[in-house]
A and B are shown apart, each in its own frame.
Chain A
Amino acid sequence: MKIAVCVKYVPVDSKVDVDPKTHALVRSSGAGEINPADRYAVEMARQLSEEDGVSFDVFTMGPDGAARALKYAMALGAEKAVLLSDIAFAGSDTLGTAAVLAAALKKYGPYDLVLTGNASNDGATGQVGPMLAQMLGVPDVTNAVEAETDGKTAILKKKDGNTLYTLKTALPALASVPFGANTPELPTLRHQVAANQREFDTVSAADLGLDPDTLGQAGAKSIVTDTVNVTAQKQGIELIGSVDEKARDFADTVDKIQQAIGGGKHA
């Protein structure tokens, strides 16, 4: 049984500006990491691959730096890693991204199960997984927190608020996995160092037989009309001192908050 995990390499920086003309996000550093939710998709694949005869491959669309996300997955056992990288892919909307991924999965597949993160923490649309399923012509389950398979069917636990649904689907299928679905194993130093040396495929639009005009910004069906930089309003308060001092300061802080929101003083 073959599993494909699609992951995104996202910027780590919260210091983000918005370009007033293009509404694109401008980051102060180029550093990135694997999208947080995608770690849980990789972990689901890793756990399933503990069964004999199950293996998983990893795909990402992005610039060269996105190979780091592949290396993370390789350190956790991904067999093949594929970087979908082409200037023609730049500026793709969710539909364009799904189209590239679908073409890649067809080229390297067929896959019995495709896993993605539920949403990326930068765009946060949650659209790519379901769009990809549509393009592959397979059923999809979002918010899947657990998976079991016998190679022909998959039993997926889907979380919806406080309700957990158990769904059975024929394979091939796609599941998108939310943040917090499981406890991701950490790559060990040994495995990470080995993964850093490993080869991965780099694939272009031409390799996938895709027409560049239908991709990237040129082919995007959606137009970004505005992007708002939301600043977190939360502020941490550091309590220092002995346990008693900390407890007293904490109680004072709670009082202040209660007063500010119009509540009474706590007992």
Chain B
Amino acid sequence: MSKKKIGIIGGGISGTALGWNLCLYDDAEVTVFEKGRIGCGTTAKSAGTVCLFDDSLNNRYWDVRLYGFETYLKMEAERKGSAGFDKTGTLVCATSEKEVKRIKAGIALARSAGYTGEYITDKKRIHDILPMLNTDSILGAGYTKDDGYFDGTMISNTFAAKMEDLGGTILRGAEVTEIVIENGTAKGVKTKDGDTYDFDVVVDCTGPWSRFTGEMAGLDVPIWHTKAEAFFVVPPEKHLDYVFPILKFPAFYALRAGNNIFICKSHLSMNLDDPMHAGQWDPDRLPEREGTDDYFIDFLFHQFEENVPGLTDAGLNSSWLSYRAETRDFLPIVGDTPVKNYLLATGYGGNGVIEAPAVSRDLAKYIMRGESTLLLEEWAFSRLLKKKGE
């Protein structure tokens, strides 16, 4: 049986999820090139929340969210710790009637899939769930105990191990420096070591690096970098005697991370035209930690003053900066590009952990069988090309 040879650039959650899904086809021969370690890029700095209902991904893509969540639950059930699940539940606070409607729809969807979820207006109950909240500033809150956050790096490594079990190859420390293009068609890649690899299909899964790898294929990949500035704070109580749920507000979110609370401005509140929020930078220059701007800490403080006064006197322990690869419509770019056989699975922005499983499942089927899906059609590169020309 002749096999289809696929080269994947990038071993983050995008590349490894795709690699594993491709290896489920016995006529696929898959190689992942990762210039660092598996899951060391954006994925390593992720919050990893996969909430049953919140505003991070439109309810239109509910199935994507559910598929991601259940993929990781199954991973975790197969081997405890392999998805790094921390089941804290989520409290989604509504600050407008529009939000209330969206949250209630999300709850209905979660319940239809067999999970618990309720919309709470009793302020005392909300306060019992998260005592440090100012319940006066919200209309109500959606709450579920069933979800939580995962560890993107663990997941990537688990996908990588599962992929290798199925005969896939992972080249760690292998930087792709050239995409071989002949007559407008991708034919393979070259690495920093000078090795050349031939492929039938090359998939670029390099997240915020895809601007640079795209250039290697002669493409202008329309992604922007939004600053993901995460701060780790220690609540004044030091050790909380309750489970701090994932806390979602439209402009920010918070979740527990050991004895710290991870706080971050939400990805949908970023403005691609504001140079403090977004730009096009070099992810290789990102520091391992720190590198954050005063702007973000000021922003979060003012949000907390209004909404979570219990965190205003939290101690600032550490921080990190990362770049989300974001498109103009905040949805990923998946599938074909104007360069034949050079595909993209990038631009996951602030939702890569949620979206990678469903996207990878569909993209693998497309690569191996040529069958597209509604999701791939909606998240195709061509939608952005059209917008560019308008």
Contacts of A71 in B (CB 8 A): 294
B317 touches A190 (CB 8 A): no
From A32, A187, A241, B315 is in contact (CB under 8 Å) with A187
Contact size range, A: 20 to 34
A189 touches B297 (CB 8 A): yes
B226 an interface residue at 8 Å Cβ cutoff?
A: no
A167 an interface residue at 8 Å Cβ cutoff?
A: no
Shortest C-beta distance, A250 to chain B (Å), equals 14
Contacts of A196 in B (CB 8 A): 294, 297-298
CA A192 to CA B80, docked complex, whole Å: 39
A32 touches B298 (CB 8 A): no
With contacts A186-B316, A188-B316, A189-B314 taken as known, whether A241 is within 8 angstroms of B290 at the C-beta atoms is: no
A186 touches B317 (CB 8 A): yes
Specify the chain A residue showing the minimal Cβ separation from B292. Answer: A31
B287 touches A31 (CB 8 A): yes
Q: Mark B283-297, 1 if CB is under 8 A from A, else 0.
A: 011111111001001
A28 an interface residue at 8 Å Cβ cutoff?
A: yes
From A13, A75, A190, A242, B287 is in contact (CB under 8 Å) with A13
Residue of A185, A192, A241 contacting most chain B CB atoms (<10 Å):
A192
Specify the chain A residue showing the minimal Cβ separation from B158. Answer: A240
CA A38 to CA B150, docked complex, whole Å: 35
What's the A-B contact tally at a CB cutoff of 8 Å?
Answer: 75
From B234, B285, B300, A28 is in contact (CB under 8 Å) with B285
From B285, B286, B291, B311, A189 is in contact (CB under 8 Å) with B311
Shortest C-beta distance, A71 to chain B (Å), equals 8
CA A29 to CA B287, docked complex, whole Å: 6
Q: Mark B320-349, 1 if CB is under 8 A from A, else 0.
A: 010000000000000000000000000000
With contacts A196-B297, A240-B81 taken as known, whether A189 is within 8 angstroms of B304 at the C-beta atoms is: yes
CA A75 to CA B314, docked complex, whole Å: 13
CA A41 to CA B42, docked complex, whole Å: 34
Interface secondary structure of B, over-half rule = mixed
A186 touches B315 (CB 8 A): yes
Give chain B interface residues in 294-318, CB to chain A under 8 Å: 294, 297-298, 300-301, 304, 311-317
Contacts of B298 in A (CB 8 A): 193, 196
From A31, A32, A238, B321 is in contact (CB under 8 Å) with A31
Q: Mark A36-80, 1 if CB is under 8 A from B, else 0.
A: 000000000000000000000000000000000001000100000
Specify the chain A residue showing the minimal Cβ separation from B286. Answer: A29
With contacts A187-B316, A240-B154 taken as known, whether A14 is within 8 angstroms of B288 at the C-beta atoms is: yes
B79 an interface residue at 8 Å Cβ cutoff?
A: yes
B82 an interface residue at 8 Å Cβ cutoff?
A: yes
A255 an interface residue at 8 Å Cβ cutoff?
A: no
Specify the chain A residue showing the minimal Cβ separation from B284. Answer: A28
Shortest C-beta distance, B97 to chain A (Å), equals 30
Contacts of A205 in B (CB 8 A): none
Shortest C-beta distance, B319 to chain A (Å), equals 9
A189 touches B316 (CB 8 A): yes
A241 touches B79 (CB 8 A): yes
B9 an interface residue at 8 Å Cβ cutoff?
A: no
Q: Hey, which bits of chain A sit against chain B, CB under 8 A?
A: 11-15, 28-29, 31-33, 71, 75, 185-190, 192-193, 196, 238, 240-242
Given contacts A186-B317, A190-B313, A241-B82, 6 further A-B contacts (CB under 8 A): A12-B287, A13-B287, A31-B287, A33-B289, A186-B316, A241-B80
Of the A-B pairs whose beta carbons lie under 8 Å apart in the complex, a sample of 10, sorted by A's number, is: A12-B287, A13-B288, A28-B285, A188-B316, A190-B312, A192-B301, A193-B297, A193-B298, A240-B80, A240-B81
